[in-house]
């Protein structure tokens, strides 16, 4: 795929901008962005920029978007973006959690990670503000 080679040659910031421009959320094939996103090493600022943009469309019909971002983001910024972008409707939160919980379980590597995920899930289940 030519475009993957193209973004691999770009800086992290330029590649993020290119993906956001080419695969906007209103684009019918925006889902293709996840293929590009997982093929590059991203600076933290660009990780967060991409995650905020695409995770704003939560919930998803599969775990793929969560898995893509979880594959290169640290747990704390990943949870921060999920908190910012979480859906408002209970049905949407339930769908988000259905796909997100297994991803979060795989991300847990330490006791601190486990505590962060437990707190995150408790906050959601109690309906508290997640900010």
Enumerate the domain spans of the chain. Answer: 2-125
Assign 1 a pLDDT band (cuts: 50, 70, 90). low
Assign 127 a pLDDT band (cuts: 50, 70, 90). low
CA separation for the pair 12, 48 (Å, rounded): 12
pLDDT at 130 (0 to 100): 46
Using the structure block, give the residue that is written with the tokens 């379980």: 105
Cα-flanking dihedrals φ and ψ of residue 23, to 5°?
-125, 60
Question: Mean pLDDT over residues 112-117, rounded?
Answer: 98
Residues contacting residue 32 through CB under 8 Å, at least 6 positions apart: 23
Tell whether the model's pLDDT for residue 131 goes beyond 70. no
On whether the pTM is more than 0.75, the answer is: yes
Question: Mean pLDDT over residues 31-36, rounded?
Answer: 93
CA separation for the pair 103, 98 (Å, rounded): 10
* Long-range pairs for 63-70: beta carbons < 8 A, 24 or more residues apart: 63/99, 63/100, 63/102, 63/103, 64/31, 64/34, 65/34, 66/99, 66/100, 66/103, 67/103, 68/34, 68/37, 68/38, 69/37, 70/103, 70/104, 70/106, 70/107
Question: Mean pLDDT over residues 9-18, rounded?
Answer: 96
């Amino acid at each position: 795929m030519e475009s993957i080679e193209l973004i691999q040659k770009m800086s992290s910031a330029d590649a993020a901008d290119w993906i956001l421009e080419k695969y906007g959320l209103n684009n019918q094939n925006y889902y293709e962005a996840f293929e590009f996103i997982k093929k590059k090493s991203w600076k933290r600022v660009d990780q967060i920029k991409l995650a905020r943009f695409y995770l704003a469309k939560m919930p998803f019909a599969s775990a793929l978007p969560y898995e893509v971002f979880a594959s290169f983001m640290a747990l704390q910024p990943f949870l921060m973006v999920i908190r910012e972008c979480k859906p408002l409707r209970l049905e949407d939160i339930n769908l988000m959690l259905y796909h997100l919980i297994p991803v979060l379980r795989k991300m847990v590597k330490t006791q601190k990670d486990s505590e962060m995920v437990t707190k995150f899930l408790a906050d959601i289940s109690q309906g508290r503000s997640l900010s």
